[in-house]
Structure 1
Amino acid sequence: MTFNPTRRGFLSAASLLSASALFGLPALAEEFPTKKIDYIVPYNAGGMSDNISRLLGEKLTALTGQQVINDYKPGAGGAIGASYFMTTPADGYTLLQSTNSFYGIIPLVTKVQYKPLDDLVPLVLVGDAPMVIAVNPAVAANTLGELIAYAKANPGALAYGTSGKGTVGHLSGVWLSNKGGIELLHIPYNGAPAALQAVLANEAQIFIGPEAAEHIASGTLKGIAVLGDTRWQQLPDLPTTAEAGISGWAPRSWHTVSIQAKAPDAVKTRLNSLINSILEQPDVRQRVTSFGLIPGIETLEQVRQRAKDDNEQFGILIRDAGLALAQ
């Protein structure tokens, strides 16, 4: 029997190829992953990002049968790891452990090899790190309203300590200054522990970050508010800034897993589903909570909107602080 290359034959073959392409992509996505996954951690081992990547990597391996391998690329506040990540194939087999800083802060203050909203996509919300306003007990304020009133009555008398310029803590202070119409002095220290010690010693008076929780609980610092509109289970009696009358977007720190934007959409959807199914497991939620985070579950669309909002709003604060890169 011989093959007759007629027009009808070519059309039939083309139709089959078209159908295969159309229906094959979802099938391939359902099979994903079929080989090992490289997991870029842009910080040193032992920190929050390492803890999250180890937890999710272990669970992904158990769920898919494919090994997840951590690859540490620390330096430049995460910029080195992110830039390296952009050199890897955009097939979904390389992931980046990241925070919202990769979308709203790092690319606005550091030269990087990616455009935050064009080249990078957050897949999930692992959890929020509550930004808590804490003050030295010597400060005559117990609420956000009282703190703002004190600062207005004593311009320049209050300083806030942070782990450095351009950090979420620094920009939270800029936000508080803008929203309250007050003047706060920024003092950068070499890391959050040093900044906390400075506030405990009253060298600075305000600290903003989740690290203050244990000191608030022990009474060595006074808790004022949690930035945003969600209370923190670890400090359930501490009101939010929204409850205190400052509504809308507030500085935040949240953890995610990122993928290259050029990766197939079906793979993004598949990974969102896989990782969210892990984040819904009670033992994982407990571990995420033990890391000091508020666990979260969001769709691809929701977490991408978070990244867009933070890029815009942190951009405003960065320009106000005089940190923006020259365009």
Structure 2
Amino acid sequence: MQLKKNRFRLSVLALATAFCAATASAQPAAFPARPVTLVVAYPPGGTTDSQARIVAKKLSEIWEQPVVVENKPGGNTVIASSEVAKSKPDGYTLLLTAMPYVLNPMLLSSLPYDTRKDLIPVTLLSTVPGVFITYPDFGANNVQEFLAKAKAAPKPLVFGSAGTATFTHLAGELFSSMTGVDFLHVPYKGSAAAHQDLIAGRLDLMFDNGALPHIQSGRVRALGVTSAKRLPWLPDVPTIAEQGLPGYEAAAWFGIFAAGETPEQTIQKISKDFTTALEDPEIKAHFATIGAFAEGGSPARLEQYLDAEQARWGKIVKEQNIKIQ
């Protein structure tokens, strides 16, 4: 009798052991179990690329797995976005993109993916406020003095941008909409040439987030910042909002996205670890050198941010009939 009981107990124990082993083998391995690819929708060597690489390095330490940065510029970010949208939804291929995520569905007649369905938010990487700048001899020291001269001018003043539908363009159109003053927009292929024409007085104004060296050298004059609060690196430059335009706020931003249908547990894990990386003092300091704020936060936070951006810029795109040729 005792022998039968012992055999029964051994059988139960064997079944339990087999069940536990089967259950363990069926559960997914902890993320990440292999290298992760971060697809950047912009060229190597720029400020976006530098953000990607310093964060990728920190994530490699956190995950104990390589994070490989791949630059896939072109098509107003469509090339990189399409690659990630069509990738396996497992979190091992991530996208770093920016405002075109929100703008492309408004500006382009068709896309090879459904933006909100095929590319889901992970975390807000950074925000980069801009600065309203003019040339020193323009004769204005603040926004109101500038507007007075603009309204008195016999023809519209000329504002330059880094390209149609870029932050530098839209921030200017928002300013025009809120002040009721029309400007002649001249798009450039990047900010560098526009900066030179502004310094030379061939442009009257720009809204830019890469002009800090020119401001510090005195080659251009900062009249206001586009953020809701003053910037630590330009503490004496007031916000545009506090100079008679309450509610004016604009910033370029960069976010991390994953392929649609990536498991929620994986998304939350990636978001949490990106946020940890972005809290690192070295990363915060590096971002500050390029005029950016390290952000982080939950997917829900980025989702809310995207909704606000869509509402803000959708109105401007429609009002100004902005299109990408």
Superposition pairs of residues 1-327 of structure 1, within 5 angstroms: 28=28, 31-99=30-98, 101-110=99-108, 111-154=110-153, 156-248=155-247, 250-324=249-323
Give the Å deviation of 1:272: 1.0
Q: CA RMSD in A?
A: 2.5
The structure-2 alpha-carbon separation of the partners of 1:226 and 1:276, relative to structure 1 and needing over 3 Å to count, comes to same
Question: How far apart are residue 324 of structure 1 and its match?
Answer: 4.7
When normalised by structure 2's length, the TM-score is: 0.86
Aligned length: 305
How far residue 231 of structure 1 moved from its aligned partner, in angstroms, is 1.8
Letter in 2 for 1:47: G
Counterpart in 1 of 2:15?
A: none
Deviates more, 1:138-147 or 1:187-196: 138-147
Q: What SS does structure 1 have at the residue aligned with 2:270?
A: helix
C-alpha contact 2:36 2:67 (8 A) present in aligned 1: yes
Runs of 4+ in 1 over 4 A off after TM superposition: none
Q: 1:251–1:314: 8 Å Cα contact kept in structure 2? A: no
Distance 1:94 1:272 in 2: 14
How far residue 82 of structure 1 moved from its aligned partner, in angstroms, is 0.8
Would the aligned equivalents of 1:151 and 1:157 in 2 still touch at CA under 8 Å? yes
The answer to which of 110-119 and 186-195 deviates more is 110-119
Q: Structure 1 residues 231 and 121, CA, compared in 2 at 3 Å: closer, same or farther?
A: farther
Distance 2:179 2:260 in 1: 38
**Percent of aligned positions with the same letter in both sequences?**
28
Task: Give the 3-state SS of the residue equivalent to 1:118 in structure 2.
Answer: helix
Rg larger in structure = 2
Read off the aligned partner of 2:210 and give its amino acid letter: E
SS class of match (1:71) = strand
Q: Secondary structure at the match of 2:249?
A: coil
Cα displacement string for residues 72-123 of structure 1 (whole angstroms, at most 9, x for unaligned residues): 2221221111112111011111101111x13322332234223333332332
Unmatched segments (≥5 aa) in structure 1: 2-15
Structure 1, 80-89 or 114-123: larger mean CA deviation: 114-123
User: Does the aligned pair in 2 maintain the 1:131–1:253 contact within 8 Å?
Assistant: yes
> What secondary structure does 2:271 align onto?
helix
How far the C-alpha of 1:69 sits from its partner, in A, is: 1.6
How far does the alpha carbon of each residue in 1:200-222 deviate from its partner, in whole angstroms, 9 at most, with x for none? Answer: 11111101111222222222211
| Structure 2 residue ranges without an equivalent (≥5) | 5-18
